A and B are shown apart, each in its own frame.
Chain A
Amino acid sequence: MKNCILALCVWALAFAAGAETLIIPGSGANEVLLKQLAEDFQHQYPSDQVQVPPSIGSSGGIKAVMNDETILARVGRPLREAEAKAGLKQWIFARDAIAFAVGEAVTVRSLSSSQLADIYSGRIDNWRTLGGADAPIRLLVREATETSAEILRRAFPALQKLDSLQQAKLVNHDYEMIELLDKYKTALGWMTASSLPSARTGIHLLAIDGASPTRPDMASGKYPALLEFSLVFKEERLNEIARRFIAYIASPAGQQILKENGVVAEANR
């Protein structure tokens, strides 16, 4: 069903935009960055059309490539074994940290992964226990199936229960997370590091197990919870416009966009 709708969308978009159109379906986490890249790319190549439709998830994008419904998909996670075996290639062009964030009233700046596990299992419910001020820990979580939750579970094996807590508020987007961290000043949540505008001083990103979600720790691999910005494709199906778009991302102009978005570029292919 989902595939049918996607196929229809792809077809409709292709029809609307003409033959020289590249459609890149996939993950929601990648959406904003890819839209910016697509926009800048079209400035350079006005005859090319690149469409970044709303999220259908990383898995949806991968499936679309597998079924030859699209040439490129935007994907936020590594390929699974079966997907790699099906002949799919993944090009990771940037990474970003999935970082825990706290509201203004929280003084704690770093936590261990076992402390996090205690918090999310309900054993610790006050910042006082963690050396902070006496204030309840308000938990803001993302959906269990969401890519960022998946990445955190993978990066911190102690953290398996992230969302099933009764006393937690479900959040759908990074911008909502920021809103609620502002409202609940003693809250703890997580988001992609680059989503937090540098001007916002009230919200703080936490270091976990001594590694901070900053460029050096990410680049060195010390900080483990990383969102990958990648394109998935079948090598033999790559057409001219897809190759041009990939080349553009690796070019200085594309790298500049990545830098502006605060992600760590991984231009090596």
Chain B
Amino acid sequence: MKARLPRTLAIPVIILLSLLSLGALTLGYWINVRALEKALDEKEHERLAAVAYAAIALIRDEQPRLSALAKALQDNERITQGFDRLAETDDITTLREAMNNLYVGLNVSVFQASDQTEKVLYRAQAPDRHGDTPVIWGVAEALAGEEITIVSKGPLGLALRVVTPIRRAGRIVGTLMVGQVLDDAFARRIAQRAGAEASFASPSGVWASSAPPERRLSPDDPGLTHSLSAKTAIEETDVVARKRRMLMPLKIVDEVFVLVIESDISGSYALLRESKQALLLKSLWILSGAILVGAAFTAYLLRPLKRLQLEAQALVQRISGQEIETDGVNEIGAAVRAFEVTTEVWNRYTANLEIARHAADAANLAKSQFLANMSHEIRTPMNGVLGMLELLLRDRQLSSRQQRYAELAQTSAKSLLRMIDDVFDFSQIEAGQLELVYRVFNPREIINEVAMLFAEVAQQKGIHFATQVDPKLPTAVRGDPGRLRQILSNLMDNAIKFTEQGSVTLEASVVDERAETYKGKADAGLWLRFAVRDTGIGVAPEVKEQIFEAFAQADSSAARRYGGAGLGLTIASRLVKMMGGNINLVSEPGCGSQFSFSVRVESMDAPTRNEAVG
């Protein structure tokens, strides 16, 4: 259940971007296609209308042509001769031959002559058939005396005809008819000229067309009756056959019929299809581009979040070793969770640290207090031991051997007491229980006391000992003389201990107030500088720092060789720090060392000096 695919924000963002792009592109596609369809529709409509008007013009142009032709033929010598011949000898052949010859050059589809009883004398389609009386509108009317132009249905179909009377000697002897049948051939002529299929239709259906019979408009076509009754042109589109029709009711002369123009719109359809495909292809390109850009942008946006999460994970791992659970959440959720977990782990961690620190502090304090108490408790019996040894040594009855033993015991006890004192001081300092005791004192006296204490020891060891005291050193300052003495003693003890030959020098001076080091501190009090210089074994550079640490000597073998708890320098260093200074060590192994330090004291004015000393 746990090994699920990581949920990422990238997927919904990309899906959203894709959907938005898809929507925009679909809308664009739709609008484009609509515009295209409309433009093509408009184009097809205009083409159809142009074709229809061209066809109408073609039909209308026939009327003046036929009329002019009829007028010319009316007075044609050969035709009148033919009629004369017929009247005189009842011989029809002259007229027939004359008309046959004329017909060849006339370019008409109706060419016919009748006598005054409407009997046909000649018809171009069937020159041999005559004598019948077909019902053709116009013949009777022309016989009444006037040329007539008509459009009506005749045996050949709907035709535009001009019928004109033939007069001989002031009498009407017959009629001559020229005409153009609106037949398939005529429709084909229009079609050829206009570039579209043309048909002529009446309410009973199509009677002539440039199209083959199987492709002609059905008489039941609703558009046909509709255009006739509404008396307006209508357009139909046959989507399946890729045809577009215009049905235009026309009244030529005095006959109403419908001109049907049908154009092939497969070209437009192909263009539309091509454009649609191109549009679709482009849309797909744009869509894929949008998705790619969206994906890249999302990844770019999410990268810092991922980094945040990984860094938090590393931190949490390091602190607590636990994993941040980020299954089933996206990048933002993961970052939030990582932050939550990190905060929680961090809080726990710092709380633990605090507890540990408190425990360590408490343990250290307890240790120091224990040591201080113990030192105090040990010193009491030690003082008893020393007192008793003192008394023992005053006894004159001791043998020289007993005297020597007692002196040895006294030296060991004093040494032990000093060590206990050191431990006691150190633990007091550590426990923060040691406090400086301020009073007015003469630093020169302290120098003298220390010098007196160590002059003898130095002499016994065969080392030259000297003191150098600055004449400007004041005689009355306020500070802790006991602790100052302790510092100097420790340093002196140390110096003599590690010097086998040569000299040990104790220096004391007042720090020049202009000295760079103490600039700015001058008003805080008076600074006294002390230095203990020796020509002993020196301190290696690498252990310089360590020798002020508690229980440390430069070499662990030194403890065995020189004795001591190794607390002297530590205590001196701590005390100097309490007095506001620092011990500075300058040393070269084999050549000697110089321990120097400065302490701050309060300067006492001259009037108070005597009082202080007194």
Contact = CB atoms under 8 A, between A and B. Distances in A.
A91 interface: no
B254 A167 contact: no
18 contacts: A135-B140, A138-B137, A143-B228, A143-B229, A145-B229, A167-B135, A167-B137, A169-B137, A169-B152, A169-B255, A170-B255, A172-B251, A172-B256, A176-B254, A179-B254, A184-B137, A185-B141, A185-B144
Interface string B248-266: 0001001110000000000
A47 interface: no
Contact of B231 (A125, A136, A172, A179): A172
Contacts of B256: 170, 172
A166 B153 contact: yes
Contacts of B144: 105, 185
A186 interface: yes
Most central of A138, A176, A180 by chain B CB within 10 Å: A138
Given A105-B144, A135-B140, A180-B254, 15 more contacts: A136-B135, A143-B203, A145-B229, A166-B153, A167-B137, A169-B137, A170-B202, A170-B256, A172-B231, A176-B254, A179-B254, A184-B141, A185-B141, A186-B140, A186-B141
A136 B140 contact: yes
Interface in B194-235: 202-203, 228-229, 231
A170 B258 CA distance: 12
A183 interface: yes
The A interface, classified by DSSP as helix, strand, loop or mixed, is: loop
A180 B148 CA distance: 12
Interface in B129-163: 135, 137, 140-141, 144, 148, 152-153
Contacts of A167: 135, 137, 153
Contacts of B254: 169, 176, 179-180, 183
A166 B152 CA distance: 10
A167 B118 CA distance: 16
Interface residues of A, number: 19
Interface of B: 118, 135, 137, 140-141, 144, 148, 152-153, 202-203, 228-229, 231, 251, 254-256
B57 to A, nearest CB: 22
A170 B225 CA distance: 13
Interface in A156-187: 166-167, 169-170, 172, 176, 179-180, 183-186
A170 to B, nearest CB: 5
A138 B152 CA distance: 11
B135 A125 contact: yes
Contacts of A172: 231, 251, 256
Interface in A110-150: 125, 135-136, 138, 143, 145
Most central of B141, B144, B228 by chain A CB within 10 Å: B141
A157 B250 CA distance: 33
Interface in A178-208: 179-180, 183-186
A63 to B, nearest CB: 16
Nearest to A179: B254
Most central of A166, A176, A180, A184 by chain B CB within 10 Å: A184
A137 to B, nearest CB: 10
Nearest to B118: A136
Contacts of B118: 136
Most central of A143, A166, A170, A179 by chain B CB within 10 Å: A170
Contacts of A138: 137
A125 B231 CA distance: 30
Nearest to B152: A169
A169 B229 CA distance: 15
Contacts of B203: 143, 170
Nearest to A180: B254
B207 to A, nearest CB: 11
Contacts of A136: 118, 135, 140
A190 B166 CA distance: 33
Contacts of B229: 143, 145
Nearest to B151: A169
Nearest to B149: A183
B139 to A, nearest CB: 8
B607 to A, nearest CB: 121
A179 B144 CA distance: 18
Most central of A105, A125, A135, A136 by chain B CB within 10 Å: A136
Nearest to A173: B231
A9 to B, nearest CB: 14
A138 B138 CA distance: 10
Nearest to B135: A167
A161 to B, nearest CB: 14
A103 B153 CA distance: 20
A172 B153 CA distance: 17
A191 to B, nearest CB: 16
A4 to B, nearest CB: 14
A172 B250 CA distance: 12
Contacts of B202: 170
Contacts of A184: 137, 141
Contacts of A180: 254
Nearest to A135: B140
A16 B228 CA distance: 30
Contacts of B228: 143
Closest 7 pairs between A and B when the two form their complex, measured CB to CB: A136-B140, A170-B256, A167-B135, A180-B254, A135-B140, A166-B153, A138-B137
Contacts of B231: 172
A101 B254 CA distance: 18
Interface string A216-229: 00000000000000
A185 B138 CA distance: 11
B205 to A, nearest CB: 12
A188 B231 CA distance: 24
A175 to B, nearest CB: 13
A135 B117 CA distance: 10
A251 B251 CA distance: 42
A172 B254 CA distance: 10
Contacts of A166: 153
Contacts of B135: 125, 136, 167
A105 B146 CA distance: 14
A136 B133 CA distance: 11
